[in-house]
């Protein structure tokens, strides 16, 4: 059995983008994280202790902190920084992590819902 913790579409206003006005004005992004727990025995979860898992609240705080610091041009750069921060905090507790970042409004001449970057480790 596998246990996966998901944080879906956390919304942020970020100062990110290739164009200077994107970083000045900022724009809305949505970030999701999917974290597969590293468990040798599922019975450990029966103890009903937060210490035995990964707090999605703490995951959110780490993501929010990295977004608040961002003046990055690329979603990929922000994504790597978030993944590294999550890995630094929870490396002993997960076997895989997928992070996706969606830019909602795109500076392109076309109709597109969003652009998305996914990073899996």
Number of domains in the chain: 1
Domain of 95, CATH number, reads: 3.30.1130.10
pTM of the model: 0.93
**What tens digit of pLDDT does each residue of 18-70 get?**
999 889 999 999 999 999 999 888 889 999 999 999 999 999 999 999 999 99
**pLDDT at res. 108:** 86
- Residues spanned by the domain of 14: 1-118
**Taken in order 34, 38, 40, 45, is the CA torsion positive or negative?**
negative
**pLDDT at res. 58:** 98
User: What proportion of the chain, given as a percentage, has pLDDT over 70?
Assistant: 100
Q: What is the DSSP string of 31-77?
A: EEEEEEE--S-GGGGGG--GGGS--HHHHHHHHHHHHHH---S-HHH
Per-residue pLDDT band for 105 (boundaries 50, 70, 90) equals confident
């Amino acid at each position: 059995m596998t246990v996966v913790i998901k944080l879906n579409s956390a919304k942020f206003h970020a100062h990110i983008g290739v164009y200077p006005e994107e970083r000045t004005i900022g724009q809305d992004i949505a970030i999701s994280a999917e974290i597969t727990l590293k468990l040798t025995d599922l019975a450990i979860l029966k103890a009903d202790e937060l210490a035995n898992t990964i707090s999605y609240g703490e995951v959110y705080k780490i993501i929010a902190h990295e977004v608040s610091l961002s003046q990055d041009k690329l979603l990929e750069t922000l994504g790597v920084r978030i993944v590294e921060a999550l890995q630094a905090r929870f490396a002993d507790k997960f076997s895989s992590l997928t992070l996706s970042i969606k830019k909602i409004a795109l500076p392109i001449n076309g109709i597109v819902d969003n652009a998305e970057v996914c990073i899996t480790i």
